[in-house]
Structure 1
Amino acid sequence: MTDHEIVALGAAESRFQDALRRNDIDELDGLLHDHVRFLGPDGLTIDKAADMAAHRSGSLVFTEVHELQRDVQVFDSVGITRVTLHLAGKVGGEPLDAQLAYTRTWHKQGAAWTIVAAHGSVVPQRD
């Protein structure tokens, strides 16, 4: 693992978060592997087609994507990003305003990193 690889994967994570914030369908499509699977905070697993359909239809829209914490690791052509985000927007027409922790597994092919698996969990709010 080199510093260059960690920086490159960190940049890919930043691009992904920015694409979520802007609802940039083309950028999201390029950063998600065709066979990606997401395990959401609700315990359901969805594929790329379902995720992209939610973004395209507007049933999943983020008005705020604010990173609170990040950790990046690279193991040859596999990378892992762990981020805690404050997200605001709408999911299925319902308002969202929460902190979520995500672990994303990335695969590097050539110079490009793509997400091959992701898991999100709600971070409980403490008083």
Structure 2
Amino acid sequence: MITVPLATLGGMDTDRFNTTTLNEAENRFQAAMLDNDVSALDAFLHDEVRFTGPDGSTIDKAADLAVHRSRTLLLSEIDELGREVQVIGGIGVTRVTLRVVGTLAGDKIEATMAYTRTWIPADNGWVIAAAHGSLVAP
């Protein structure tokens, strides 16, 4: 996957990389998570992506995909409770609050999570370069 160098973002294709296409990418990413579509998730994640979880631990792309590939994490419901989308200097940011239901390592989970994802332009569209998930207190 080849990303667009930051130095060239001034000439960025705003038809491909704007808040509308970022909203669409976030929608497709959530759908891929719900479908446990490892191939689609792989395409959405930059090779150098890092995800910081609610406990403060950080995992890379391989570890994130392994959780989905092994079906350690399976989501049966994703309900979006809120969303903010920004494109600043060619970098996209989505902040979503989701109610998620499913299983993690065989244990039932139901939680409200706040996710912040940093997206960058790439040849295949928006890809996630960094993400953070926090548990929202009930």
Q: State the shift of 1:116 in Å.
A: 0.4
Residue 137 of structure 2: SS of its match in structure 1?
A: coil
Q: State the shift of 1:95 in Å.
A: 1.5
Alpha-carbon separation, structure 2, partners of 1:37 and 1:48:
7
Mapping of 1:1-127 within 5 angstroms? 5-110=18-123, 112-125=125-138
Q: Detail structure 1 runs of 4+ shifted over 3 Å in the superposition.
A: none
Q: Percent identity?
A: 52
Hey, which of these two has a bigger chunk of strand by percent?
Answer: 1
Classify 1:111/1:27 alpha carbon distance in 2 versus 1 (closer, same or farther; 3 Å): closer
TM-score by length of 1: 0.92
Question: Unaligned 5+ residue runs, structure 1?
Answer: none
Higher CA-based Rg: 2
Root-mean-square deviation (CA, aligned residues, Å) is 1.5
Alpha-carbon separation, structure 1, partners of 2:32 and 2:19:
20
Count residues in correspondence.
124
Whether the aligned pair in 2 keeps the contact of 1:77 and 1:109 (CA below 8 Å) is no
